[in-house]
Chains A and B, each alone.
Chain A
Amino acid sequence: NLMLTQPHSVSESPGKTVIISCTRSSGSIASNYVHWYQQRPGSAPTTVIYEDNQRPSGVPDRFSGSIDSSSNSASLTISGLKTEDEADYYCQSYDSSNHEEVFGGGTKLTVL
């Protein structure tokens, strides 16, 4: 079954740039879209990137997404970090072999 592997945690200073990776265990990263969600404590997730690199309306352009076939991974890049970006981030993609959506384990972003 498909697994999406994320770093457990990352930390960076305000104003800097952070990259969160999401590595696909099997099949090509390009074969199914990758979506990214932000979840603050006590709240439901919200989408920050969908379909690899698209931003929903209202999400600042400091958030961007990409995929890299050489490492079979997707990345969420947050530039100009703000303290309000501190949250858990999850990637999601589709496992065609069993028709299931799969979430990565989540990455806790600390902005200090």
Chain B
Amino acid sequence: EVQLVESGGVVVQPGGSLRLSCAVSGFTFDDYAMHWVRQAPGKGLEWVSLISWDGGSTYYADSVKGRFTISRDNSKNSLYLQMNSLRAEDTALYYCAKAEYDILTGPDYWGQGTLVTVSS
């Protein structure tokens, strides 16, 4: 069974930093690209970032480019999102999601999300 479990969401002050983690199981992690997607309270889904199977290629939404960094550790079956210079508008439920296969494919399996709140 495919499982993705996000962690690391907390309350952080504007301008602060945070690293989210996503532990996966039930599939061969290093065969697949991975996505991060977020949902602000009362809002729709927003694609955040994508990483290739080997971590060699990364992509970002304009809203987070230069502030967020996606990475992965295939030896630990884990995906990460380093979030710097956080803003109030980054407050959201952050989901990690497995890509159908490569960087040209969208999310198929998702976790249940971890909540990040940016507030003073």
Bind each other:
no
- Residue numbers of B with Cβ under 8 A of A are none
- Residue numbers of A with Cβ under 8 A of B are none
